[in-house]
Chain A
Amino acid sequence: MKILICISSVPDTTTKIKPTGDGKAIDLANVQWIINPWDELALTRVLELKEQPNSKIEKITVLTVGGRNAEPTIRKALAIGADDAIRVDTEPGDNYFTAFQIAQALKNYDYDIIICGIESSDYNGSSTGSMIAEMMDLPSVSSVSKLEIESDTVKMNREISGGFEVIEMPTPMVAIVQKGIAIEPRIPSMRGIMMARSKPLQVVESADVKPLTVFCSYTLPSPKAACKMVDAENMEELVNLLHNEAKII
């Protein structure tokens, strides 16, 4: 069984976000790039499954859409334990553009399971995984919080309002994963980092497609008014403020 994990390279989650001078982009100078947290958890989970006795997983591939500057991120995924990597050589555009690039690139491969994170921590689009599935005419399950592989099916928990469903789906399929899929992301070992240098990284040409949406301007949220402090001994005052001022209770 061959598994592909889509990796997005995103600014570190503690990055201070500020628009560029003209407000047309986010200033990404001096940003530390990381693997999107959900993609990292997905990779961790698949490695756990591969290490199980009698595992059917032959190969774990990581794929990213990005220029040469995305290579450190994809190398990190190789250092964590993926077997090989694919980079679609273009800057990612909107979800449609990015999903199209991935679906096109995967035409020449036959992966049994394609895994995407539920969203990227930068543009919070929550769409790429499902778009890939539709473009490739594959079934998909979203909001997956647990994943097991059985002979030729995938068993998953899907989060629903107030609980979860246990779902089975035959391969090939797309799983879109979220919190719960793995507990702590793995970090690369020294040996892993050394080995990653010689693992295959294939660069694939991009497809000719136009994005359907354009992010045209960025602003910072208006600063919040100062926090009004209430004395710990005077909770009647807090209740009064919530009732009469905030009008929330």
Chain B
Amino acid sequence: MNKVIIFAENFEGVFKKATFEAVSYGSRIVEQMGGGEVIAISLGEVADEELKSLGAYGATRVISLHNEAFNSLDAKIYAKTIADNVKKENAGLIIFTDSNASKAVAPRVAVRLHAGMVFGAYGLPSNLSPFTIPKKVFYGKAFTEVVIQSEVKVISLSQNSFGVVENKKDIVVENIDHTVDTDQIKTKILSVEKSTGKILLTDAEIVVSGGRGMKGPDKWKPLEDLAETLGAGLACTRPVSDEGWRPHTEHVGQTGKIIAPNLYLAFGISGAIQHLAGVSSSKVIVAVNTDKDAPIFSAADYGVVGDAATVLIGLNDALKKFKSEN
């Protein structure tokens, strides 16, 4: 039987949209294959109710492995645990998201299983035999088709490239107390720093971003106001973070964060190729710039030629009006 395993990463006991997307993706591939089993693997403490939520996207079984050691990520231990279970299930395809944990674990799982791996799969396989996966290269400047030649295959799915698709199935939860060789754990976590309450850039559906055209660190208030109206995450360009106008965590672009929100609003951003590399997967891009020839307009869906500060106020007012009427 075709078996597809999805690594269901949790964040303090909760799954994120990317995991639901990976499960949706896995169950569609099983359909393409003519049927089979969609199994999720979860490591660490996750409540049964949360585990069962994966059934809404097509998973029929979730293997929930418990051990204190899973509360923090040790790449080697995670990889061994996942690979052992893949072998036990005799599954042919393992799907990860493109999260930081996936980058740490998926390649190790691939080595353990002698599996070919595609990181950043962009949508469904174009062919099942040979198994062919589309992927972006050069930060979206080109697409490629990658054939995985090995028997077992590992994929990490590019966020928002497939979408969350409901596909309700009855799901069985298997809770297992897993034994871990603790001598093997070499990752020692000394402390954790976390900002709370803010919308995370990589999770945000809408992102509001500012460039040097914002004219200074003291001019960010209207951008923050717009972000609040939209429930959006805040981002900036590299020069802005290098100048210290905004924190480095907000830098999106080739060397910063790569994001793929539904809506990206760029204010005072000229659209350098390195910046576009980080945002070109956004579904809709709105650009506001004083220079009508700025390269950002060739990447944008909607454009406004004008001063960022003035347009921000006008747009925020119009959005508030829209919200009160809808």
Identify the A interface with B (CB < 8 A): 11, 13-15, 17-19, 26, 37-38, 94-96, 99, 118, 121-131, 133-135, 139-143, 155, 158-170, 173, 176, 179-180, 183, 211-221, 224-225, 227-233, 235-236, 238-239, 241-243, 246, 248-249
Compute how far the CA of A235 lies from the CA of B288 in the bound complex, rounded to whole angstroms: 11
Q: Give Cα A86–Cα B324 distance, bound, in whole angstroms.
A: 64
Contacts known (A163-B192, A246-B284); A212 close to B115, Cβ less than 8 A: yes
Q: CA of A141 to CA of B288 in the docked complex: distance in angstroms?
A: 39
Residues of chain A within 8 A (CB-CB) of B74 are 139
Residue of B nearest to A145 (CB): B248
Closest to A160 in B: B100
CB-based A-B contact count at 8 angstroms: 270
B248-A173 in contact (CB<8A): no
**Residues in B lying within 8 Å of A, measured CB to CB:** 11, 16, 72, 74-76, 79, 98-100, 103-108, 110-112, 114-120, 132, 135-150, 156, 186-196, 198, 200, 202-203, 206, 230, 242, 248, 251, 254-256, 262-263, 273-274, 277, 283-284, 286-288, 297-307, 310-311, 314-315, 317-319, 321-322, 326
Known: A126-B119, A238-B304, A249-B206. 6 other contacts (CB 8 A): A11-B138, A126-B103, A127-B106, A159-B100, A162-B196, A166-B192
Known contacts A143-B100, A230-B304: does B314 contact A235 (CB below 8 Å)? Answer: yes
Can you list 10 A-B contacts (CB < 8 A)?
A15-B138, A130-B108, A141-B75, A143-B100, A166-B189, A179-B251, A211-B149, A213-B118, A218-B137, A235-B317
**CB contact under 8 A between A238 and B315, given known A179-B248, A213-B146, A227-B287:** yes
With a CB–CB cut-off of 8 A, which chain A residues contact B138? 11, 15, 17, 26, 121-122, 124
**Distance in Å: Cβ of B174 to nearest Cβ of chain A:** 26
Interface of B is mostly: mixed
Min Cβ gap A243→B in Å is: 7
Give A37 to B140 CA distance when docked, in angstroms: 17
- In this complex, what residue of A is CB-closest to B185? A139
* Chain B residues whose CB sits within 8 angstroms of the CB of A141 once the complex forms: 75, 104, 187
Give min CB distance, A87 to chain B, whole Å. Answer: 23
Contact (Cβ within 8 A) B301 A162 = no
Q: Which of B188, B189, B193, B311 meets A163, CB within 8 Å?
A: B193
**Are B301 and A139 in touch, CB under 8 angstroms?**
no
Q: Are A249 and B193 in contact (CB under 8 A)?
A: no
How near does chain B come to A99, taking the closest CB pair, in angstroms?
Answer: 8
User: Secondary structure at chain A's binding surface: helix, strand, loop or mixed?
Assistant: mixed
- Smallest CB–CB gap between A237 and chain B, Å? 9
A245 to chain B, nearest CB (A): 9
State whether A142 touches B100 (Cβ < 8 A): yes
Residues of chain A lying within 8 A (CB to CB) of residue B230? 249
- CB nearest neighbor in B for A212: B116
Give which listed residue, A37, A134, A170, A243, contacts B111 with CB less than 8 A.
Answer: A134
Given A160-B100, A161-B100, A162-B195, A134 and B141 contact (CB-CB distance below 8 Å) = no
How far is it, in angstroms, between the C-alpha of A13 and the C-alpha of B137 when the chains are bound? 12
> Are A214 and B149 touching (Cβ within 8 A)?
yes
What's the least CB distance linking B268 to chain A, in Å?
13
Min CB–CB distance A29 → chain B (angstroms): 16
Shortest beta-carbon distance from B258 to chain A in Å: 9
The distance in angstroms between the C-alpha atoms of A135 and B149, with both chains bound, is: 20
Q: Report A44 CB to chain B, min CB distance, Å.
A: 13
Q: Which of B72, B114, B256 contacts A179 (CB 8 A)?
A: B256
A14-B145 contact, Cβ under 8 Å, with A134-B112, A141-B187: no
Give Cα A159 to B16, complex, Å. Answer: 17
CA distance A236 to B310 in the complex (A): 14
CB <8 Å contact, A134 and B79? yes
> Which chain B positions have C-beta within 8 A of A214?
146-147, 149
Which residues of A lie under 8 Å from residue B200 when comparing CB positions?
161-162
Residues of B within 8 A of A162 (CB): 194-196, 198, 200
Closest to B148 in A: A213
B273 and A13 within 8 A (CB): yes
Q: Are B110 and A166 in contact (CB under 8 A)?
A: no
CA A231 to CA B206, docked complex, whole Å: 22
Q: In the complex, what residues of B have CB within 8 A of residue A128's CB?
A: 107
Cβ contacts under 8 Å, A159 to chain B? 100
Q: What is the chain A residue whose CB lies nearest that of B316?
A: A235
Given that A133-B108, A213-B118, A239-B322 are contacting pairs, would A219 and B136 also be in contact in the complex, using a CB cutoff of 8 Å? no
Q: How far is the CB of A150 from chain B (nearest CB, A)?
A: 11
Task: Tell whether, in the assembled complex, residue A243 and residue B322 are in contact, meaning their CB atoms are under 8 Å apart.
Answer: yes
Tell me if B103 and A118 are in contact (CB < 8 A).
Answer: yes
Contact between A228 and B254, CB atoms less than 8 A apart: no
Given A179-B248, A212-B115, A239-B322, A227-B186 contact (CB < 8 Å): no
B284 contacts across to A, CB distance below 8 A: 242, 246, 248
| Complex partner residue of B75 from A38, A140, A221, A248, CB under 8 angstroms | A140
B256 close to A217 (CB less than 8 A): no
The 7 closest A-B pairs by CB, nearest first: A232-B306, A212-B116, A163-B194, A139-B186, A142-B104, A130-B107, A127-B107
- Whole-angstrom CA separation of A153 from B96 in the bound complex: 30
What is the chain A residue whose CB lies nearest that of B241?
A179
